[in-house]
Amino acid sequence: MPPETVPTAPAGAATGLPGAPAASIVIPVFNEEGGLPQLHARIRGVLDALDRPAEVIYIDDGSSDRSLEELLVIQAEDHRVTVVSLARNAGQHAAVLAGFAHARGAVVVTLDADLQNPPEEIPRLLEAIDAGHDVVGTWREDRGDPALRRVISALVTGVASRSVGVTMRDCGSMLRAYRRDIVDQVLRCAERSPFIPVLAASVARRPTEIAIGHAARFVGRSRYSALRFMRLGFDLITGFSMVPIQLVSLAGIGVSLAGMSFGVFLFIRRLVVGPEGEGVFTLFAILFVFLGFLILAVGLVGEYVGRIYLEVRGRPTYLVRTVHRPEETPPCASS
């Protein structure tokens, strides 16, 4: 099969195809070889008991381990599985987007591959969709992540909620369900560095959130390094609003005013007290604070300029190498 390239927001996201399953489970996979058999065993258990037909779409996000091979084995044994193999690592959210583009179900559920989100919660999400909600978010009770990670997540969720004007308890929880129309909207407006839960929240009309269990990682460690996580945070901040850059400008004005007042104060003090030798280092300290502001401001401007650059360059968010659909016999495993 020739490689297939899909643009950022493919127009042909299949909707209501005859024979399309009622639900699609979308799972991004990046170097998860150790846990995939167990993951699929649990997914299969849930799907077998489900009240409606469902498909599973695994997206291999350019894994360098044997994840793709594992997925093809799973696919060979389960006719409900489609494997989308990306040409290179595109990041979790771009991988989910690729999954959206290939999902055919009337409801799409996303899930992490590391079993931190229990697949057994899927029926509860579908119930909430049946009850009339178009996006079902989740928040993680007894979250199995380190404390620092939880604090950063809470901050990120606060920023995200404010920037799209929708209150979310936990935008980092990826066990979520989206109705077809929301999936189509997200595909249409997904841009550079999509952050799916926030993007979906911005177009949702009747969102809801439910509490779910959360486990520590089953095997391996988080695929997010501190740097990757920071990049995601910056994407989120600059991707949804212009407020940060406006705040920086405001801070710049504030800092300049403070600097001027400080100069006036020093001048008057010089007249009253006379020349003083001390305090030079205090001045240095203050200088460094200002310098920090300046660097941050330049960095933020750079973020926006970078986004414009990426947008102008117009490369797709992800590149699909091969799609292994159930009815096809998989071609020799390309990696």
Binding site residues, Mg ion, CB under 5 A: 112, 114, 116
Report which of 71, 85, 64 is spatially closest to residue 6, judged by C-alpha positions.
85
Per CB under 6 A, does 29 bind ligand UDP?
Answer: yes
100 contact choice in ligand UDP, Mg ion, none (CB below 5 to 8 Å, kind-dependent) = none
For ligand UDP, the closer CB: 9 or 111: 111
CB 187 within 8 A of CB 100: yes
The answer to whether residues 124 and 141 touch, using CB atoms and an 8 Å cutoff, is no
Q: Pattern of binders to ligand UDP over 67-106, x per CB under 6 A?
A: ----------------------x-xx--x-----------
User: Token pair for residue 132?
Assistant: 């009339």
Interface residues for ligand UDP in 107-166 (CB under 6 A)?
A: 112-114, 116
Cα–chain center distance at 119: 19
Considering only residues 210 through 249, tell me which ones interact with ligand UDP, judged by CB under 6 A.
222-224
Number of amino acids touching ligand UDP (CB under 6 A) = 16
Q: Which does 89 bind (CB under 5 to 8 A by kind): ligand UDP, Mg ion, none?
A: ligand UDP
Nearer to ligand UDP by C-beta: 121 or 134? 121
DSSP state of 105: S
330 binds, among Mg ion, ligand UDP, none (CB under 5 to 8 A by kind): none
Written as one string, the DSSP assignment of 136-201 is EEEEETT--S-HHHHHHHHHHHHHHHHHHT---S-TT---EEEEHHHHHHHHHH--SS--HHHHHH
Q: Of Mg ion, ligand UDP, none, which one sits near residue 61, judging by CB under 5 to 8 A according to partner kind?
A: ligand UDP
Residues near 31 by beta carbon (within 8 Å), at least 6 away in sequence: 63, 64, 65, 67, 220, 223
Write down the least CB distance from residue 118 to Mg ion, Å: 12
- The one of Mg ion, ligand UDP, none whose footprint includes residue 28, by CB under 5 to 8 A per kind, is ligand UDP
b/e burial code for range 98-133 (CB count within 10 A of at least 16 → b): bbbbbbbbbbbbbbbbbbbbebebbbebbebbeeeb
Residue 194 contacts ligand UDP per CB under 6 A: no
Out of 10, 21, 30, 186, name the contact with ligand UDP by CB under 6 A: 30
* 38 binds, options ligand UDP, Mg ion, none, Cβ within 5 to 8 A by partner type: none
Nearer Cβ to ligand UDP (92/238): 92
Report if residue 35 touches ligand UDP, rule: CB under 6 A. no
Q: Indicate the burial class of 208 (C-beta count within 10 angstroms; 0-12, 13-18, 19 or more).
A: middle
What is the rounded CA–CA span in Å between residue 317 and residue 319? 7
> How far, in Å, are 184, 267, 282 from residue 272 at the CA level?
70, 9, 20
What is the SS3 string spanning 185-245?
Answer: HHHHHCCCCCCHHHHHHHHCCCEEEEEECCCCCCCCCCCCCHHHHHHHHHHHHHHHCCHHH
- Pick the piece of the chain touching ligand UDP (CB under 6 A) from 13-21, 25-33, 102-110, 162-170: 25-33
The residue (of 169 and 325) whose beta carbon lies closer to Mg ion is 169
Q: Which CB atom, from 112 or from 235, has the smaller least distance to Mg ion?
A: 112
Of 236 and 300, CB closest to ligand UDP: 236
Q: Which positions touch ligand UDP (CB under 6 A)? A: 28-30, 32, 61, 89, 91-92, 95, 112-114, 116, 222-224
